[in-house]
Amino acid sequence: MQGKAVYLNGEYLPLSEAKVSVLDRGFLFGDGVYEVIPAYFGHLFCLEAHLQRLNNSLNGIRLTVSLDTQQWLDIIQPLLVEGEAQYIYLQITRGVADTRDHAFPQQSKPTIFAMCSAIAPFAREQGVKAITLDDMRWELCSIKATTLLANILLRQQAVDKSCAEAILIKDGFATEGAASNVFAVIEGVLVTPPNSNEILPGITRDVIIDLAKSNKMSLREEAIAEVDLRKASEIWLTSSTREILPVITLDNERVGDGQVGPVWEKMQQLFQQYKRAVS
């Protein structure tokens, strides 16, 4: 099966031949969830954690897909190309219904789609720019849903200002980025908001927390007030495909001394070592 472009409902086929019905609820309503699983040196990264998050998202939208880890591996593994940095995009919708109705259909078969893409190289060592924006998304951000229009509009505002990301503020506290989790070094302590319905539980975030704890780095999982975020000596953005991005300017103001910080440099080294160790 090596060399097939995508997987769709039990078949491997070229991307140009992959089609779904216009009555698929993912197309009509965004009624589905997704997962992004990076792979390094031909090995899937933190697969069990990604599949657990996928199952949590499926449970959150009351969609049952009874596949175990080995069955998911059987679907995903043929899409990988040995030795390249890549990621699997996996999307599951509630499937095709006979009519367009907001209520769940009585009978429908989930649509399962997966494809593999290369992870674009990113010059993390130079740092990135970010802006802050009001978090105007829904109240179930812990579900990795395909309904991402709010996130798209927020990220585009950042792009329009030549920034890599928008850090979202709600009720005076930072929640996360439009497509990332947030860390800040505040008075020498690495801080990240705790998991809740207001943020997506990031897999890269969890790896960083574990690495910080195992390497005796000061860390707290607690809310980050906007005023503290603006005084932080370092700010990071984390995600599966961009890994750990150091922010050097926030709303056109320097973060710390405007350079990539020493805590990020230490964590970057630990993270890269961890990637190789588990691959």
Query: What is the bridge-based pairing of β-strands 224-225 and 32-40?
Result: unpaired
**pLDDT tens digits, residue range 159-212?**
999 999 999 999 999 999 999 999 999 999 999 999 999 999 999 999 999 999
Amino acid in position 144: K
Residues shown for the chain: 279
- Find the DSSP H helices in the chain: 25-29, 47-60, 69-76, 149-160, 203-214, 226-229, 262-278
User: Could you read off the pLDDT of 115-171 as tens digits, one per residue?
Assistant: 999 998 888 889 999 999 999 999 999 999 999 999 999 999 999 999 999 999 999
How do residues 75-105 score in pLDDT, each as one tens digit? Answer: 999 999 877 799 999 999 999 999 999 999 9
Q: Are 33 and 145 in contact (CB under 8 A)?
A: yes
DSSP character for 226? H
Alpha carbon 135 to its chain's center? 17
CATH class of domain segment(s) 6-118: alpha beta
| Catalytic residue status for 144 | yes
Structure confidence at residue 279 as a pLDDT band (50, 70, 90): confident
Tell me the two tokens of residue 8: 């769709």
d(CA 164, CA 161): 9
- Cβ contact 118:85 at 8 Å: yes
- CB of 239 within 8 A of CB of 203? no
- Segment 55-78, tens digit of pLDDT: 999 999 999 999 999 999 999 999
Fold match, 6-118 / 124-278: no
Catalytic residue among 4, 129, 144, 213: 144
pLDDT tens string 229-243: 999 999 999 999 999
Both tokens assigned to 275: 């990637």
Domain borders along the chain are 6-118, 124-278
Which pLDDT score, from 0 to 100, does residue 66 have?
A: 93
**Number of neighbours of residue 116 by Cβ within 10 angstroms:** 20
Task: Please provide the DSSP assignment of 100-129 as one string.
Answer: --SSPPSS---EEEEEEEEPPP--GGG-EE
Neighbours of 268 (CB within 10 A): 17
**What's the pLDDT tens digit per position in 8-29?**
999 999 999 999 999 999 999 9
Residues paired with 113 in a beta bridge: 8, 91
Tell me what pLDDT residue 3 has.
45
What is the predicted pLDDT for the residue at 155?
97
pLDDT at 2 over 60: no
Only one residue has tokens 């319905």, namely 197
Report pLDDT digits (tens) over 240-276. Answer: 999 999 999 999 999 999 999 999 999 999 999 999 9
pLDDT at 4: 60
Q: CATH 3.20.10.10: does it fit domain 124-278?
A: yes
